[in-house]
Structure formats: C-alpha cells, structure tokens
Chains A and B, each alone.
Chain A
Amino acid sequence: MRTFLGAAVPVGFVTALLFIPYVLLLVHSFWRLKGGAITHELTLENYRRLFGTDLYPDTIFFSAGIALRVTVFSLILAFPLAYLLAFKVRRHKQLMYMAVIIPLWVSYLVRAYAWKIILGQEGILNGLLQSAGLIDQPLTFLLYSRWAVILALTHIYTPFTLMPIYAVLEAIPPALKEASQDLYANRWQTFLRVILPLSLPGVLAGSTFAFVLSMGDFLAPQLLGGNDSALMVSNLVWSLFGVAYNWPLGAAVSVVVLLLTLFLLWLANRVEIAMNYGGQSDRMIGSVRGGAAV
C-alpha cells in the first residue's frame, strides 16, 4: 500500500501536470483552423505553414541567438564569482552565497521593471550620465533594444548558472590542488589542468540552465525589447494563442521548440556522461531535466 502510494503520487503529478498538457499541445498542433474556429480535423497544415514562412524559423534562431549570448555572459559573470566563493572567500561564505542567490526570491517581474527604471529615458543611468556631464540628451538606445533584453536575462539567469558551478568547485578536494602544485604546476597551470576540467560538468549544467530558460523567456523581450527584439519565440506563441487566436499554429510552434529543447538537454546529458571519467559523480543535468523544459 505504501509503495503503491509512493509511486502513485509522483506518477499522478507528472501525468496531470506534464503528460496531459503536452499531449493536448501535440494534438492541437494537428488540428485545423477554419473560419476562426478550431475544427477537430487532422492536418499537417500548421507545420507546413511554420516551415514555409521565414517568420517562425527566423524567430526561433533569433531566440537561440539571444539565449546563446545570455549563456556566454552568464558564464563570464558566474564562473569567476563561483570560483571566488568556493576557494577565496573564507569568512561569511554562506552569507555571500545567499547574496548571490537572493535575487531568485524577488519576483521576476520586479527585476524586469527594475531594468526599465535603470535604462529608461528618465532612468537612473541616463540621470547619472547627464549629471556627470557626459551626455546632453538622454540616450534612447539603452531601453527597448536586444541588449536590454540580454542584460536583463543575464541578470536573471546568472544565479542559475552560478549554483551548479559553485557546487562542482566546492566538491573538488583541496588536496587535488595541492597535489598539482606539489608536482611543479604553478597556480595558473593548476587552474587550467585540474580545476577547469573538473568544473566542466557544472559549467555544462549552468549553461544548459541559462540557455534553455532564456530561450523560453517572454517577459524580458515583452518589457524591454525594441522593434527588433520584442519578439522571441515565446512571445510569438503567446500572440498566436492570444490575439491571433490560432491555437493549432501556436501549438505547432511550441512542439517544435519543445523538441529542440529536449534535444539540447539530451545532448548536454550525453556530454556530461562522456565527461564522467568512469566514476559516479553527481549527475547535475539529469536531475534538472524536465523541470527546465519550457
């Protein structure tokens, strides 16, 4: 009875919250829109339209491009920070770690709006630059541009990137560093040959987080994006389900993005297994799989 319940509860959750919605999504993507109404008639029309026009593939590539840049910037910020936290900070380590993580408890919306306040025409940044006499007119390219989107997403997903990197760095036994130095490697060589290779599983997990999450983001482009960047793939799906009232096409786009994301997660997982050096280290990506999918 106990084991039955133990299995039934998670299976029930997954069925109700993941499996059924995804099946509905998949089924919708094969239905036809006729005269503004969804008819239950199987068709490949939605997929044909999706791949037949430039708009949809272009938007997917554009989103991937944004996500890639967010990933790179998040890594650039997160890795040194994680390194400092893991190896250099001795006192108040927990406090410092919390300081990095705490933004995750602040509503996403609040953080996105914060960037609006900072970057806007009457914003803090323009105010500072003007009062410093560096500019006469407020800069208008700060807000409503792809860089504003990348900036906000990087800010939001850097902690997600940092956590797995910090976890792997923390797990590296200090004796390995000492062994390397004992064997004539200086600090830089030790970093390149011991610390960095051993941190790769965490880097991979962090990159996967940043990429997948920012690829599926729609608030940042909505609030901060400009003419060229208000439309990432999630915004497209949103408008297809909303204003355009074309659920079948929206579902088809979602399915394509979902498959792409699953492929990326699978790939990351394969790479991680290949890096696992024949031992049983913690699997970072496997454990977050699914949870991060769109």
Chain B
Amino acid sequence: MAPLLELRHLTKQFGAFAAVDDVSLTIASGEFLTLLGASGSGKTTTLRMIAGFELPTSGEILMDGADISPLPPFQRDINTVFQQYALFPHMSVRGNVEYGLRMKRVPRAERTMRVKQALEMVQLDQLGARSPRQLSGGQQQRVALARALVNRPRVLLLDEPLGALDLKLRKEMQLELKHLQTSLGITFVYVTHDQEEALTMSDRIVLMRQGRIIQIGSPRDLYDRPASRYVADFIGETNLLTGTVVESKNGEAALRIGVDVLRGMSDGPLMPGAEAWLAVRPEAIAVRPPEGGGSGGNVVSATVKEAVYAGSAIRVHAALTSGQRIVAHVPAGTSVPVGKMVRLAWPTDRGRFVPE
C-alpha cells in the first residue's frame, strides 16, 4: 500500500509547551489508524493539524507527496467527524449532509442522489427532514458520519466520535464504523483515549504520550509486545512485577522477586543484577491448589486477598510471598479460596520483560 499521508517531524508549540513534539508517521491508503493516548498526549492536536485547524509550528504534512500543512481546512480533501458532532442546529439533517456538496458546487441532481445514499448508508433516510436536535445521540453521530462521508474524502478524521455514547451503543458503532471503513476503503485516522476501542478497530495503533509517539504497531504488537512499561500498563490490564535480573540468555531472562524466580521473554539481553519489570497479562495466569506436581513455566505461591466477580470471569487479587500484588482472571465458576494459599502458574512465553 502506498503512503497517502505522511507526517514529518511535526511539532506544535503552545507557548513554551510542546503539545506535539517531533511526530513522524506514514499512513497507508485504506488504513484504519488510531492515535491513542491519555488526555494531553497530543493526539487531538495531531489530528487538528491534519484537518487544518491548527498550523504546525514546524514539520510537514504530506498528502500524495505534496505538503498540505499551509492549506486552510476548506482546501483539503479531508473531512472530520467531531467529538460533539458539531451539527448545524439551524439546518435539517438533509441540509447538514448536503452542506459540503453545496460548497463544492456539486450539481443539484447529483447532490440529491448522494445525500440520499449517504443517509441510507447510516440508516437515517427516514429522518432527513428532522432538526438535529430532535435526534438521539446515536442518530446525531450517524448524521455527522454521513455529512463527512458524502464528500467521499480521501481521509476521514474522527475525534473521539463515540465518546458521548453509552457503552452498548458504542460497541455497536465500533463494529459498524469498522465495516464502513473496510467496505468504502477510505483511510480513517481515529483519535481515542479508549485502548479497548483502539484494539477493536485499528489496523495500526499509534500510542502517544507527552506529544511523542512511544509505540506504533498492530493491536497485537502493542498488546503482546509492549515496548515499555507505560505501554504494557496502558494497553489492556497487566501485572508489572519488579525484581532483580538473575539470568539472561537466548531471548529469555529470569527475575528474582524475594524467594520467587520468574522467567519471561526478553527482546534484548538484560544485565544481571539490574532492576527489571516483567509484564504478565491476568488472563495468562491460572490459579491452582497449593499442592501438586510442578509443570513447565512459572509457578509461584501466593495468598488470595480478594476474588471479585466480574460476569464472565473472576478477578483474583493475590499477594506473592514478597508482598507484590498480582491479578489473575479465572473463568467464572472456579472456586477461589479467599485468604488461603494457592499456586499461580503461567507459561514462560506469556511473560515479557519491558524496559522502563
């Protein structure tokens, strides 16, 4: 896939504060790319520079190889779905969707047809005459989507578009957006702070922090091979166990935490004696009775502190002999003896050493 958009050393300063700090990134045509990060990470500012609402302090935004960063928003082949939808309250749903086509002087007959198609696409063809204020949040969101997509942009920018919806609707819209993106083949650049949303929809995720990119990769990459402690902690739920490296070879390392020695995968060699962090996902950990034969991988004794029922799973909070806390997810229905000793076990390759 050819790169459609390219950000080169993009920086945005607000006074002395760098909201976006030297961000470089290529976005392929037809890709679903998510800018993920906590608030203040620079993801929205990056999106606003692509849209043209903010001028970069330095750096370039290339589209098909040409720098578009000095162009005003109305001269870019890019449309945006806004966080609070930003529908025009004095126009009907149809008027909203038609707006971009009018401004582009598309002939009336074609306009009518495209508006109709766009409204059908989001299943709102019955509500064209309504005022946006008469619609529910989910419907308004669909209008915003239709209003942007009717223009057939090369790139669609979405700024936390599902943030205002309730959980169930959000889940539905996630799938719908993904289907729409795949079937239309339009490049989506999606901003969210919700890592689960990012994992569900994206082809690639760009994780940002303090204006910088800290990791780019597929959802799987970020989940299974976090590049740092921060990423491991941000993406999904994770246990970060800390101790002293005792051994490191052949992509594996061992960590001493009190009396326990835990093994995990390591991308590079670690210095024995150094402090290190081992990330283990809760769903990788099995809870076993205190006695029994040892198997391969990691097996440690722990005391169950708490067992929280969470529908499909039980979240077991336990303490290792060193006192470090660890969380395991076990299938609902498993009996977990609160206050008793158990053994926690997980395969070596489900643990991963992460740099600071």
Contacts and interface: CB of A to CB of B under 8 A. Distances in A.
A219 B148 CA distance: 56
B100 interface: yes
A179 B84 contact: no
B86 A173 contact: yes
Contacts of A181: 52-53, 72-74
Interface centre among B99, B133, B151, by most chain A C-beta atoms within 10 angstroms, is B99
A178 interface: yes
Interface stretch (A99-107, A141-149, A182-190): A182-190
B151 A183 contact: yes
A271 interface: no
Contacts of B133: 277-279
A180 interface: yes
B86 A178 contact: yes
B45 interface: no
A175 B88 CA distance: 10
A183 B97 CA distance: 10
Contact of B53 (A173, A178, A183, A186): A178
A175 B151 contact: no
B161 to A, nearest CB: 13
Interface centre among A178, A182, A198, A278, by most chain B C-beta atoms within 10 angstroms, is A182
B80 A179 contact: yes
B78 to A, nearest CB: 8
A65 interface: no
B123 interface: no
Nearest to B97: A183
B158 interface: no
Contacts of B263: none
Interface string B80-109: 101110111110000000011001100000
B112 interface: no
B51 interface: yes
Nearest to B99: A183
Contacts of B86: 173, 175-176, 178-179
Contacts of B79: 182-183
A173 B72 contact: no
A180 B99 contact: yes
B131 interface: yes
A175 B73 CA distance: 13
Interface string A33-54: 0000000000000000000000
A182 B90 contact: no
Contacts of B73: 178, 181-182
A194 interface: yes
B103 A279 contact: no
A80 interface: no
Q: Report, nearest first, the 10 A-B pairs whose CB atoms are least far apart.
A: A183-B100, A175-B86, A279-B133, A184-B103, A179-B86, A278-B131, A181-B73, A184-B74, A185-B103, A182-B80
21 contacts: A173-B86, A175-B86, A176-B86, A176-B88, A178-B86, A179-B80, A179-B86, A180-B88, A181-B73, A181-B74, A182-B73, A182-B79, A182-B80, A184-B103, A184-B151, A186-B72, A194-B88, A277-B131, A278-B131, A278-B134, A279-B131
Interface of A: 173, 175-176, 178-186, 189, 193-194, 197-198, 277-279
